[in-house]
Amino acid sequence: MISYKDLGLVNTREMFKKAIEGGYAIPAFNFNNMEQMQAIISACVECSSPVILQVSSGARNYANQTLLRYMAQGAVEFAKEMGKNIPIVLHLDHGNSFELCKSCIDMGFSSVMIDGSHLPYEENVALTKKVVDYAHQFDVTVEGELGVLAGVEDEVSSEVAHYTRPEEVVDFVTKTGCDSLAISIGTSHGANKFKPEQCTRNADGILVPPPLRFDILEEIEKQLPGFPIVLHGSSSVPQEYVKIINTHGGALKDAVGIPEEELRKAAKSAVCKINIDSDGRLAMTAMVRKIFVDNPAEFDPRKYLGPARDELKKLYKHKCENVLGSAGTVE
């Protein structure tokens, strides 16, 4: 059993309390490799933001669970070396079983998500409670989910999306004891969040997505005053990256995300964790594709992964400074 406290990590409790009081959201960025971790940490150190490093079960399989844990431990030292001891959470994204959550808790994660959103309500309650009961023995915080996002949620996928039902949230939080709640108000995973027929088009022919259901968020906040709310599927799918990808051999059709103004508005509410993965994938892919096309003789990975990492860092700083409002919140 490895305690996250010995690794220099923190759980989400204090972080979320401050974020709700301060009207901002903590960035939860997914990572699978060293360049992503470096970009996340250097961006958050430079703009003085707390951060949640997220690991999906896919990331765990890709990068090796032990390596990822040491990388998170390394992230704490890396931040200190850069001169800022920012709070860092190591979080399991979309845990789909008690066993996976337990394994992460046992090896140093400070926070886990148990995603029972696709299960019948009572089964979601029972599974979430089982994870909470285990996690809380070690002061690890737990994110539950109610409502189903469109698209694929890691290994949890659903054909039919449905919004969170505000009338269920108090019962769910009370029965499970979870520390935060992911909700469904119209966000969705990936780079194609909406079908073109769900969108309108602006004068430039760019897809404009349907607005988020802030009415549902407000109702949830009324039911659970001050309780930490989480938004998944919150990439904005910057069209400049889509354009670079598509003009350098890529084929991303009808890619569309959540407008940044909507996320900024959500961050001022009880939404205190915003998950962003796809935008980072787009930034890296755009840079790598551009370098391959512009300089076909290049074969040193540092020469294309380095610029991709720089772009990623720029993107993350922008998110903290202009979208989530988390920049400048660490003294």
59 binds ligand G3H (CB under 6 A): yes
Answer for which of 11, 12, 30, 180 binds ligand G3H (CB under 6 A) is 30
Using the structure block, give the residue that is written with the tokens 């720029």: 314
232 binds Zn ion (CB under 5 A): yes
Stretch that binds ligand 13P, among 6-14, 65-73, 247-255, 274-282 (CB under 6 A): 274-282
Q: How far is the CB of 231 from Zn ion (least distance, A)?
A: 9
CB 329 within 8 A of CB 18: yes
Answer for which of 69, 91, 129, 189 binds ligand G3H (CB under 6 A) is 189
Is 93 tagged catalytic?
yes
Site string for ligand 13P, 220-249 (x = CB under 6 A): ------------xxxx--------------
CA angle, 159 then 164 then 169, to 5°: 140
278 binds ligand 13P (CB under 6 A): yes
By DSSP bridging, strand 180-183 and strand 207-208 are: unpaired
Q: How far is the CB of 233 from Zn ion (least distance, A)?
A: 6
Q: How far is the CB of 180 from ligand 13P (least distance, A)?
A: 13
Could you give the CA distance from residue 102 to residue 128 in angstroms, rounded to a whole number?
12
CB 180 within 8 A of CB 229: yes
Q: Which residues contact 94 (CB under 8 A, 6 or more apart)?
A: 56, 57, 113, 115, 153, 154, 155, 156
Could you give the CA distance from residue 260 to residue 240 in angstroms, rounded to a whole number?
14
Site string for ligand 13P, 16-35 (x = CB under 6 A): --------------x-----
289 binds Zn ion (CB under 5 A): no
Helix, strand or coil, per DSSP, at residue 272: strand
Stretch that binds ligand 13P, among 57-65, 158-166, 205-213, 275-283 (CB under 6 A): 275-283
Residue 187: is it exposed, middle or buried by C-beta count within 10 angstroms (0-12/13-18/19+)?
Answer: buried
Could you give the CA distance from residue 60 to residue 104 in angstroms, rounded to a whole number?
10
Sites of contact with ligand 13P (CB under 6 A): 30, 93-94, 189-190, 232-235, 275-278
Sites of contact with ligand G3H (CB under 6 A): 30, 56, 58-59, 93-94, 153-154, 189, 277
Sites of contact with Zn ion (CB under 5 A): 232, 275
Active-site residue list? 93
